[in-house]
Chains A and B, each alone.
Chain A
Amino acid sequence: DGGITQSPKYLFRKEGQNVTLSCEQNLNHDAMYWYRQDPGQGLRLIYYSQIVNDFQKGDIAEGYSVSREKKESFPLTVTSAQKNPTAFYLCASSIGRRNSNQPQHFGDGTRLSIL
């Protein structure tokens, strides 16, 4: 089935450690996005990519990094510079520039906690 796969479902980070969250899609979508959601809050955009080998900062990029070497993959690294990483991380994709009227589709998320 086509879709977006995030892994792992749960992740624990030790202080000072970098961790990488995986996001893979087989929808042939050009655009991919990372969001953070804190309890009881809305989605906040971390990074997004409209095309392979290109990405832009969202509203809360500090302490995070991404890469987009392949169309189907958009991993997010939570670096040690992110002092409050505990949150629900959501990856999404959309067709992209080819059709701006299409919605985003989400993976089922990764819950990150500090040990």
Chain B
Amino acid sequence: RKEVEQDPGPFNVPEGATVAFNCTYSNSASQSFFWYRQDCRKEPKLLMSVYSSGNEDGRFTAQLNRASQYISLLIRDSKLSDSATYLCVVNPSNAGKSTFGDGTTLTVKP
């Protein structure tokens, strides 16, 4: 079993739709969590951190469920420009290497 698992998709949704991605992690001692966005043939870019209380940034909402060991990303009112691969990242408690999920691909269609 991988340390961090994501549904690879692809998720194909129409503009304006709401879409949610989940990411599960196996290390219960994990300390911090992030969502990154990666466009085709580009580097990953930080989308948002995920806090225990949940956090929102515009159309994006991130949630953490420590008991069930998963994080989620909700995108409301999808735009064509949201089309990308979304990576979840989990940091261990001892400031070592991060663990990246393989990503979930989203395509938003007109």
Q: Are B34 and A103 in contact (CB under 8 A)?
A: yes
Give the A-B pair count, Cβ closer than 8 A: 56
Interface residues on chain B, size class:
20 to 34
Confirm or deny: B89 has a beta carbon within 8 angstroms of a beta carbon on chain A. yes
Taking a contact as CB atoms under 8 Å apart, the answer to whether B44 and A43 are in contact is yes
Alpha-carbon distance between A87 and B41 when the two chains are bound, in angstroms? 11
By a beta-carbon cutoff of 8 Å, the part of chain A in contact with chain B is 31, 33, 35, 41-43, 45, 48, 50, 56, 58, 88, 90, 94, 96-97, 99-109
Q: Does B43 lie within 8 Å of A45, measured CB to CB?
A: no
With a CB–CB cut-off of 8 A, which chain B residues contact A97?
95
A-binding residues in B (CB < 8 A): 31-32, 34, 36, 41-46, 49, 87, 89, 91-98, 100-103
- Tell me if B93 and A42 are in contact (CB < 8 A): no
- A108-B91 contact given A58-B97, A100-B31, A100-B32, CB 8 Å threshold: no
**Distance in angstroms between the alpha carbons of A101 and B34 in the assembled complex:** 10
In the bound complex, what is the Cα–Cα distance between A104 and B46 (angstroms)? 8
Residues on B with C-beta less than 8 A from A48 are 97
Alpha-carbon distance A88/B42, docked complex (angstroms)? 9
> Could you pull out 10 A-B pairs where Cβ atoms are within 8 angstroms?
A31-B95, A42-B101, A96-B95, A97-B95, A99-B95, A100-B31, A100-B91, A100-B94, A106-B44, A108-B42
The residue in B44, B94, B96, B100 that gathers the most chain A C-beta atoms within 10 A of its C-beta is B44
